[in-house]
């Protein structure tokens, strides 16, 4: 990384932190001091487990790694003082962990890169009937559709707690929805839901007139470093741990931008059941709805779907699947 990029990245981090304070982030968030957030690779050993480090940062004056368990695809923040660390470049890491679910999922996502829409992993591997729910939180002036979460909790209260959901979140949504985000965090703290936080880009730029090939992240001049790392940093400012998953705005991408995303060590997640577009979910579907107030049809369709499955939910024949566990099952070591 050259000197110019380093300066730009440092300015970007300062801008993000100032924005959170300006837009009313609470004191605990404002006190989080994260510096020098960057891509970094290596193997960290913790309690006999080998984890792949994908980022490093200075958090409140301490060196901290963001690492992924390549077998389970779960992520964690690790204090450098608590692990044994060995630097390893990305190509070497791919060879070292090539038989793990994480790199198998990366390979599968890369194979799906040719389509202009819906690249990446679009289907999980459930043990029984059920779906993986992903809720997109694109920039919006409207409040969170809280009914999605309250209805989920009500339907699954006696069957599955916490209820797993995956939220594709943008940096700009976080800037203006502090109360909604804190409400979600309270549901997690009460173990009513469990959230996998998906990176959905920072700005989610979209033009109503531009063709898909020059729209969303394909817009000329898009700063992918800011769109990806800026969003992860925003999550960390809110005490959220970024997952290794990324959802393209509008589900729009091309081979080049998919390759760029994979180079950051994150896996594109598509959907084979965008409800507002009339796509019907099947067993193992990765369902997409928008919870940002802008897609009432999708929310209504999801509530209707849940109502139609009440008997199956009660008998545990139709469940909500955790995205991380679903992909671990799909790409685990017992799979080719």
For 253, how many CA atoms within 13 A lie in the half-sphere containing its CB?
28
137-158: average pLDDT: 96
30-55: average pLDDT: 92
302 with 275: CB under 8 angstroms? yes
pLDDT at 232 over 70: yes
Token pair belonging to 58: 């200075």
H or E element at residue 4 = helix 3-22
Report pLDDT digits (tens) over 258-304.
999 999 999 999 999 999 999 999 989 999 999 999 999 999 999 99
The pLDDT mean for the chain works out to 89
Reported confidence tier of residue 185, pLDDT bands at 50, 70, 90: very high
Is pTM beyond 0.75? Reply is: yes
Taken in order of first residue, the domains within the chain and their CATH numbers are: 3-96 (no CATH), 101-331 (3.20.20.370)
Give the 3-state secondary structure of residue 33. Answer: coil
Reported confidence tier of residue 24, pLDDT bands at 50, 70, 90: very low
Q: Would you state the pLDDT for residue 184? A: 98
- 162 CB neighbour count, 10 Å cutoff: 18
pLDDT at 220 over 90: yes
pLDDT at 16 over 90: no
Q: Would you state the pLDDT for residue 9? A: 47
Q: Would you state the pLDDT for residue 127? A: 66
pLDDT at 19 over 90: no
99-103: average pLDDT: 97
Q: In whole angstroms, how large is the CA radius of gyration of the chain?
A: 19
Q: Which residues contact 85 (CB under 8 A, 6 or more apart)?
A: 42, 43, 44, 45, 53, 65
247 with 269: CB under 8 angstroms? yes
Give the 3-state secondary structure of residue 61. Answer: coil
């Amino acid at each position: 990384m050259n000197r110019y990029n380093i300066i730009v990245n440092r300015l970007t981090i300062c801008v993000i932190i100032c924005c959170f304070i300006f837009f009313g982030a609470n004191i605990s968030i404002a006190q989080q001091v994260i510096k020098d957030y960057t891509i970094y690779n290596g193997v960290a050993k913790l309690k006999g487990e080998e984890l792949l480090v994908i980022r490093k940062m200075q958090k409140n004056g301490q060196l901290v790694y963001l690492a992924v368990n390549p077998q389970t695809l779960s992520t964690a923040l690790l204090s450098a003082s608590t692990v044994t660390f060995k630097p390893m470049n990305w190509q070497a890491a791919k060879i070292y962990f090539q038989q793990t679910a994480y790199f198998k999922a990366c390979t599968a996502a890369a194979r799906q890169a040719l389509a202009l829409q819906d690249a990446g992993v679009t289907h999980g591997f459930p043990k029984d009937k059920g779906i993986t729910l992903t809720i997109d939180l694109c920039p919006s002036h409207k409040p969170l559709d809280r009914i999605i979460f309250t209805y989920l909790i009500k339907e699954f209260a006696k069957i599955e707690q916490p209820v797993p959901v995956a939220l594709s979140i943008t940096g700009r949504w976080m800037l203006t929805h502090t109360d909604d985000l804190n409400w979600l965090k309270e549901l997690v703290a009460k173990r009513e839901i469990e959230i996998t936080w998906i990176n959905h880009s920072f700005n989610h730029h979209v033009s109503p007139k531009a063709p898909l090939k020059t729209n969303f992240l394909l817009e000329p001049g898009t700063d992918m470093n800011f769109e990806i790392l800026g969003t992860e940093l925003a999550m960390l400012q809110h005490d959220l741990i970024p997952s290794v998953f990324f959802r393209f705005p509008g589900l729009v991408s091309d081979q080049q931008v998919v390759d760029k995303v994979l180079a950051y060590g994150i896996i594109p997640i598509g959907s084979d059941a965008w409800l507002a577009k009339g796509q019907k979910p099947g067993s193992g579907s990765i369902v997409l709805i928008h919870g940002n107030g802008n897609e009432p049809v999708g929310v209504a369709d999801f509530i209707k779907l849940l109502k139609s499955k009440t008997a199956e939910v009660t008998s545990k024949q139709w469940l909500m699947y955790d995205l991380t566990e679903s992909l671990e099952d799909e790409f685990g070591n017992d799979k080719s």
